[in-house]
Structure 1
Amino acid sequence: MKYGLWAVGMNIFLMIDTQTIIWTGVILMISHGFMAFQAMVYAPFYRFRIGHFMIAAVWVLHNDVIDYLFGQMPIYMGLERFLPYIGYATFWLTIFVLTYVYQKSLKENHFKLELFQD
């Protein structure tokens, strides 16, 4: 979900900054937008234990640190001057996605898919 939302945001930002419609960017926004939407739709059906969630949270936050503190992030040419802001927004996108996954998958109100009923 995070990468889908990130890719949509970066492509929109690039097109606004360059004042140009980039058709490969439009296709990327459509495909990644649907990928993020699919993750949101199916999130209530996922089952995670808190330990697994914590490992994933540390992993994703650590990835943000490696990307934006050590310069390993994907770069959209032309947006390099915004990298500190992109890194900050990416951190908060991670927090949003982790909160969403926690709310939809770990709390007691998640959906239960029952294929066979007694």
Structure 2
Amino acid sequence: MNFVGYYRLPPVRGVFFSPAQEERLLLLGCQEVFSDRCLAGGVVRSGLDRALTALEPGGVLAVPSLHALAGAMVDLLDVVRRLRALNLDLVVVQPPIDTRSDAGFFEACQILAT
């Protein structure tokens, strides 16, 4: 696959997926959407792992927001590192970020990581 979506859900009792976020990513053109649920003890990111595995090199991971991708800066930098290692791009709906046309976001994250 070349274009998949991903989002994290907050720890809200009884909420296991977000139709609004899923629909938003599908309307963006995602072929498949993966998600993870935040738990009190942290986030098990098996959905992110499945999303990255589903993508071919040169593919795109789309997320509704940076918070839907990672809850902390260290987690965000880790995901960006993984995307770069797999030769994948990132599209964020809000704020608008698209590393296919402007790699500045990746470069900024690399500076922060060092």
Regarding TM over 0.5, the answer is no
Would you tell me which structure has more helix in proportion to its own residues? Answer: 1
Would you tell me which structure has more strand in proportion to its own residues? Answer: 2
- Higher RCO (C-alpha under 8 Å, 6+ residues apart): 1
Superposition TM-score, scaled by structure 2 size? 0.29
